Structure 1
Amino acid sequence: MGAVPPFGRAAAGVAPMPGSQCPLPGVAPRPVRERHCARPVIRTAVRRLGPVSFYVLTNQGIARRRLSALGLVLAAGTALAAGTVPHHARAADAAAPADEIQLAAGRAPIELDPVTVLGTRTEKTASEVPASIGVVGQEEIKIRQADDLGDLVDDMPGVEMSGGPRRTAMQPVIRGLTGERVVLRVDGARQNFESGHRGRIFIDPSLLERVEVRRGPASSLYGSGAIGGVMEVDTLSPGRFLEDGEPWGGEVGVSWESNGDGFGAHAIGATRLGANAEALVGITGFDADDLENGSGETIPYTADEVRSGLAKLVFRPAEGHELTASYLQFHDDHIIPSAANTNTNSIIVDRKTDQKTMTLGWRFDGNGNPWFDLDAKVYRTETALEERRTDTGRFDETDLATTGIDIANTSRFQFGGFGSHAVTYGVEAYRDEQDGKRNGDARPQYPDAQQDIFGLFIQDEIVFFERLTFTPGVRYDRFDREADGLDSKSDDAVSPSISVAYAVTPWLKAYASYAEAFRAPSLTELYATGEHFPGNNFVANPDLRPETAKNKEIGLTLSEADVLTSGDRLTGRVAAFRNDVEDFIEMQVRFDSWPGTTTRSNVQDARLEGVEFELAYDAPLWFATFGAARIRGDDRTEGDPLGGLPGDKVSLGGGLKFMGGDVVTGWRMVAHDRQDRIANGETVTPGYAVHDAWISFQPSDGGLRGARFDLAVDNVFDKTYRQALSELDDPGRTVKLTAAYRF
């Protein structure tokens, strides 16, 4: 499950059997095996599934056929797994050498303890980072057949997506904080777009290689906005499709979804350009009608017509150096309410959403020189929305361009008896330029404005006695804003942090941290004027102060191999935090006079407290995951519960790997408790539990080598439910099928 860091590749440490064939990258070697002994087990498993199918028939009607078909697939897979074990057991009884009875670990959606740079800007395994990190790898992305980022993080503790099932209205929520209180980055490029009732990040998950989430304030490394946390999204790289020695490779695939009768396709090609360069080009498309909830009712205006493209070039001019250039584009064309993240359908628009992200990066690993580990990036993100009202023809344009540079270097050295040091230091600077028009004229609700932010940061990871790590850090940011016809505004912020981590044992680590963070007011919050709605006008407030946060966190991490059997691994994390946020910026709508006014003000101090727990286990033949989160928030100004928080969450998952890892099947459950601890004006959200099941088949040899088939059923029991952070129901049962071929 995406909640437990981390996901994607198979467990290491399982040697191939003699005579096994070389598999695809990321797929464990699979020995040739007999399968005839599994046939009676299949019949037994199917008979046992009979009562399950009958139960579904009596309670869900026509759903019986779909679930029975899935049951047959899962039964056959389970039987094959069970049937092959006695075969190996008999081989063992025949006194075959132990190293010839190895069971391949295969692929699985659990990348346990992966290397991440998001936590400290230096490469560390997730268990070594003194912060809460969640990772979703490529295998998990493929298995979930995700339509949006929400499908990838819905079971991650402390992480939600608000805005409902309309993909261009979604925004990530980390530990109860959303909007510009979360830093979003794609290939290292900031995604700063924010406009009322609209989403912030627009991307097709089929072009993603990895999603990482750092939960908790992180302004000492990532600057303005990292009050709730940071979400980093990485796109596909050419090397993923190029096997050793092969000059080219790629993948083509088609997909179908039952809910909304959605159809998608993708084509990705990669090639080597000489000995030191690689290139990739990928295109994707997805069309769907309106979705239905679990009761069969249409969720209005959820139809989509999405097109995306990715181009990437990687060049290694010298030893240790790597240059990367990438271009990512997203386009969505649909009919949708102007306030797309609500259930209000009073104003309907024909919206075109375009987002382009361009990056140029340079990595230098030092080539043996410990003073250099450089990561530099120049980027530009352009987001453009065009909306034409279907009733009056009014035409709005909403544009934001972010141009930036991000440079970080790590120098490693020993300093006498004061431990080993890894000092990371750098600079980040970016400019946001926004422009709003209505029927070709200036639109004061989204005024022409710009802001410049410049930041310097430094962090020192100091290791004493190989077990104690002390990490102080600090960042200074200055921000200048201006808008046409309005007062300019300048401010600055200092964001310190400190953490202490101790290796209690080789497999158990404890940590404690303190971090301060801030969010500079957005250009719209500062400068919006004009009509909000009939009888109410926006009033600019250029005197807004930055929001600030002070977070305390303690936690334990564990990572251990060969726990129950050779080749397995167990990872886990438990964290408790308290985040005090001051000068919350809220939109206040008043009717003290006529017309009424809408303005943003610093009105609130808040406290968010919570506990997160995650555990994952991967063995050669099976895997299991567990996650849980509990968040409480209080408005310390008024003494009321803080709004916009999800209910308590628990997630469970597990599955089997068999046929040498060619077949992986699993189940996942995400449950939210009833959310009745709400702010004034909010609606109580009933509790719910949603179950998903899936099976993936990727032959590693034979005539189908290179093919891949993924079948999933989301919301198996067709539950009608609404997330606490949405005004719309989520989709009902959805059967998903993807067939792809890698060449």
Structure 2
Amino acid sequence: MSFYVLTNQGIARRRLSALGLMLAAGTALAAGTVPHAAAAADAAQELQLAAGRAPIELDPVTVLGTRTEKTASEVPASIGVVGQEEIKIRQADDLGDLVDDMPGVEMSGGPRRTAMQPVIRGLTGERVVLRVDGARQNFESGHRGRIFIDPSLLERVEVRRGPASSLYGSGAIGGVMEVDTLSPGRFLEDGEPWGGEVGVSWESNGDGFGAHAIGATRLGANAEALVGITGFDADDLENGSGEAIPYTADEVRSGLAKLVFRPAEGHELTASYLQFRDDHIIPSAANTNTNSIIVDRKTDQKTMTLGWRFDGNGNPWFDLDAKVYRTETALEERRTDTGRFDETDLATTGIDIANTSRFQLGGFGSHAVTYGVEAYRDEQDGKRDGDARPQYPDAQQDIFGLFIQDEIVFFERLTFTPGVRFDRFDREADGLEGKSDDAVSPSISVAYAVTPWLKAYASYAEAFRAPSLTELYATGEHFPGNNFVANPDLRPETAKNKEIGLTLSEADVLTSGDRLTGRVAAFRNDVEDFIEMQVRFDSWPGTTTRSNVQDARLEGVEFELAYDAPLWFATFGAARIRGDDRTEGDPLGGLPGDKVSLGGGLKFMGGDVVTGWRMVAHDRQDRIANGETVTPGYAVHDAWISFQPSDGGLRGARFDLAVDNVFDKTYRQALSELDDPGRTVKLTAAYRF
């Protein structure tokens, strides 16, 4: 059979065998940048810019994979990117709405937004590094969730799947999730002194109402500022059977302030302040279906960053990115029955500096050497009715890391990337034994450009996770008849990951102005010294302690494929993950079922109107650990339409209508104990000025 490909030079007829075409299609299955629904908004770039819209990036530039700017198809790792256009199209309530069709990525915790945690390739909790504008989000406390953010203030979300400790240190066993907030330049057209956006939204399920207001201005010739506020209120959600999902009502307020200053050519200084507040009635164990302890919770998280970027201004020895940050997370919980008052606080203060030097070494290739330092301190404090709470003890840890990586390119086609990081961590708690340890995390990858549009890669990476302060030092009562026992001798968890993959990125494939992107990756991740909570009753009272008791193997395959043309688009994604407890020989718990996602849509009126459909299906998950329950398979369909007039009296306005869970399916994700919401109609009207 024949396959016709339009190139930039014209029509080139490429004859492929049926097997060859199948291989090409399979290898295409997924740019870590798969635009998913975002591809729908890729109308003519001029029209998008005229309407105040950013063009869609089917092969976007990312720094998450290597800490150097590359298109996602060039990165020898699995990278997923969600841009702001897709965030708007999905009218996302939380991060789960943005990654639910990304292969290998889930959000656990169910529909309670302050109980969510990312799951990457079957690993969750502190086995995933979370960063907001480069600031670590290290909060972890029982069943209380990890990341608290309103997607209305986000510019993009990037996910690196697979171990990445050689660049990101402790916790990157499963991967890294990086969230970037809005920048003032997005709202400032050329020459305009100010701009912004206001909007309102409504959701049928829970009768939710939201609003946002964002303003940006120029402060002279070299500075810009942005201020944004958002709010959202909703009642309890309902599942597809019309039954209330308890304690899912929310009252959320968020704010963002950002200043960008360019004092000299090549230099950019950024200061930002992000705050999230949520006030709701919720179980203390918020990511479970246990309703025995109900609390009035106030969640307050602040993230403050100072950044300096220097692109070298023509000097190849400098490409600097430096950040100083502080993240403060505070939970206040008052029991509704007894009035008991708990305070749970964690503050992370850190610095992250990376520089890239580029040079040639004759016949030894061109080099991009990235090196840097990261240091941060976690300080946690727990109170119960004003007294120390040993279940969340006063403690602190200091982590210091040095890293270096060299991207070596030979003959413009072969890239060899070795890297290594050294980390030192010291922990201490009031009245308990301190502990120090260190870890070395090497990595290496090889990538080869088979053709200008097809690349193959193989990689090996080691990663680690230092035990958390709570895992090391928790004491006091766990529940009546059972007490926590501290274990300051916990060893770090370690991982060794092998991965092979193919990436594809080609423009003008079937018609002028189209693009095809894709990725297929297979991996095996061996994790040793898993830290597990062990509850025993061989004495009275019983004990709960954490121990290194488990070795695990996770392996799987991920596929992604996206095609975008001037008049239509289509996407496909799939993931299959298997995990085994190699200590006991049982299936590993906490894994999602096999996932397939499909999407597509049409563009009308020069891209002013875009409509689309998306389906995400999970297979039945009956390969479970002891104590888990079988999750039936399900498929959920979403539909949406977006209208953004590029000229006329409505220029600057935007209207988004979506129906999530079109067929009102009652279902539960494998990583949740609660049902997900039933049919939800979403409507957003916004105006950019």
Query: What's the TM-score bracket when you normalise by the shorter of the two chains?
Result: over 0.9
**Are 2:609 and 2:641, in contact at CA under 8 Å, matched by a contact in 1?**
yes
Deviations 1:481-538 (A, max 9, x none): 0000000000000000000000000000000000000000000000000000000000
Deviations 1:198-252 (A, max 9, x none): 1101000000000000000000000000000000000000000000000000000
Query: 1:486 aligned to 2:435?
Result: no
Deviation at residue 111 of structure 1 after TM alignment: 2.6
**Are 2:38 and 2:85, in contact at CA under 8 Å, matched by a contact in 1?**
no
* CA shift in 2, pair 1:291/1:463, >3 Å: same
Q: Which runs of 4+ in 1 moved over 4 A?
A: 52-93, 98-110
Query: 1:648 aligned to 2:597?
Result: no
How many equivalent residue pairs?
688
Name the stretch that deviates more: 690-699 or 108-117. 108-117
Distance 1:524 1:149 in 2: 26
* CA shift in 2, pair 1:573/1:89, >3 Å: closer
Deviations 1:242-299 (A, max 9, x none): 0000000000000000000000000000000000000000000000000000000000
Distance 2:118 2:624 in 1: 19
**Are 2:164 and 2:172, in contact at CA under 8 Å, matched by a contact in 1?**
yes
Matched with 1:61 is 10
* TM-score normalised by length of structure 2: 0.93
Deviation at residue 105 of structure 1 after TM alignment: 13
Deviations 1:76-132 (A, max 9, x none): 999999999999999999xxxx99999999989963110000000000000000000
Question: Which of structures 1 and 2 has the larger relative contact order (alpha carbons within 8 angstroms, sep 6+)?
Answer: 2
* CA shift in 2, pair 1:224/1:713, >3 Å: same
* CA shift in 2, pair 1:80/1:665, >3 Å: farther
Deviation at residue 383 of structure 1 after TM alignment: 0.0
Distance 2:13 2:631 in 1: 29
What secondary structure does 2:56 align onto? coil
The structure number with the bigger radius of gyration is 1
* CA shift in 2, pair 1:61/1:598, >3 Å: farther
**Are 2:5 and 2:509, in contact at CA under 8 Å, matched by a contact in 1?**
no
**Are 2:563 and 2:571, in contact at CA under 8 Å, matched by a contact in 1?**
yes
What secondary structure does 2:334 align onto? strand
**Are 1:385 and 1:399, in contact at CA under 8 Å, matched by a contact in 2?**
yes
* CA shift in 2, pair 1:67/1:388, >3 Å: farther
Distance 2:122 2:167 in 1: 21
Deviation at residue 416 of structure 1 after TM alignment: 1.8
**Are 1:383 and 1:400, in contact at CA under 8 Å, matched by a contact in 2?**
yes
Name the stretch that deviates more: 102-111 or 400-409. 102-111
**Are 1:675 and 1:687, in contact at CA under 8 Å, matched by a contact in 2?**
yes
Matched with 1:23 is none
- Larger strand share, 1 or 2: 2
* CA shift in 2, pair 1:378/1:82, >3 Å: closer
* CA shift in 2, pair 1:612/1:732, >3 Å: same
One of 364, 369, 385 as aligned partner of 2:331: 385
What secondary structure does 1:525 align onto? helix
Distance 1:609 1:333 in 2: 40
* CA shift in 2, pair 1:292/1:590, >3 Å: same
Deviations 1:331-357 (A, max 9, x none): 000000001100010000000000000
* CA shift in 2, pair 1:59/1:339, >3 Å: farther
One of 276, 300, 310 as aligned partner of 1:330: 276
**Are 1:105 and 1:660, in contact at CA under 8 Å, matched by a contact in 2?**
no
Distance 2:656 2:41 in 1: 33
**Are 2:28 and 2:561, in contact at CA under 8 Å, matched by a contact in 1?**
no
What secondary structure does 2:171 align onto? coil
What secondary structure does 1:646 align onto? coil
Distance 2:363 2:673 in 1: 59
Distance 1:677 1:83 in 2: 27
* CA shift in 2, pair 1:241/1:545, >3 Å: same
Deviations 1:279-336 (A, max 9, x none): 0000000000000000000000000000000000000000000000000000000000
Deviation at residue 64 of structure 1 after TM alignment: 48
Distance 1:246 1:84 in 2: 32
Deviation at residue 65 of structure 1 after TM alignment: 49
* CA shift in 2, pair 1:412/1:742, >3 Å: same
**Are 2:382 and 2:390, in contact at CA under 8 Å, matched by a contact in 1?**
yes
* CA shift in 2, pair 1:83/1:60, >3 Å: closer
Deviation at residue 658 of structure 1 after TM alignment: 1.2
What secondary structure does 1:226 align onto? coil
Distance 2:249 2:2 in 1: 31
* CA shift in 2, pair 1:559/1:434, >3 Å: same
Deviation at residue 432 of structure 1 after TM alignment: 0.1
| Unaligned 5+ runs, structure 2 | none
**Are 1:106 and 1:661, in contact at CA under 8 Å, matched by a contact in 2?**
no
Distance 2:614 2:502 in 1: 25
What secondary structure does 2:34 align onto? helix
Distance 2:239 2:96 in 1: 17
Distance 1:686 1:569 in 2: 36
**Are 1:713 and 1:733, in contact at CA under 8 Å, matched by a contact in 2?**
yes
Query: 1:83 aligned to 2:61?
Result: no
* CA shift in 2, pair 1:269/1:100, >3 Å: closer
Deviations 1:366-406 (A, max 9, x none): 00000000000000000000000000000000000000000
* CA shift in 2, pair 1:145/1:109, >3 Å: farther
Deviations 1:449-483 (A, max 9, x none): 00000000000000000000000000000000000
Deviations 1:143-185 (A, max 9, x none): 0000000000000000000000000000000000000000000
* TM-score normalised by length of structure 1: 0.86
Matched with 1:227 is 173
Distance 1:85 1:157 in 2: 10
**Pairwise CA RMSD:** 9.2
* CA shift in 2, pair 1:518/1:190, >3 Å: same
* CA shift in 2, pair 1:306/1:563, >3 Å: same
Deviations 1:653-678 (A, max 9, x none): 01111101111110000000000000
**Are 2:41 and 2:56, in contact at CA under 8 Å, matched by a contact in 1?**
no
Deviations 1:608-628 (A, max 9, x none): 000000000000000100000
**Are 1:80 and 1:659, in contact at CA under 8 Å, matched by a contact in 2?**
no
**Are 1:91 and 1:101, in contact at CA under 8 Å, matched by a contact in 2?**
no
**Are 1:429 and 1:454, in contact at CA under 8 Å, matched by a contact in 2?**
yes
* CA shift in 2, pair 1:451/1:294, >3 Å: same
* CA shift in 2, pair 1:307/1:221, >3 Å: same
Distance 1:598 1:85 in 2: 43
Distance 2:191 2:325 in 1: 32
Distance 2:596 2:631 in 1: 16
Distance 2:363 2:292 in 1: 69
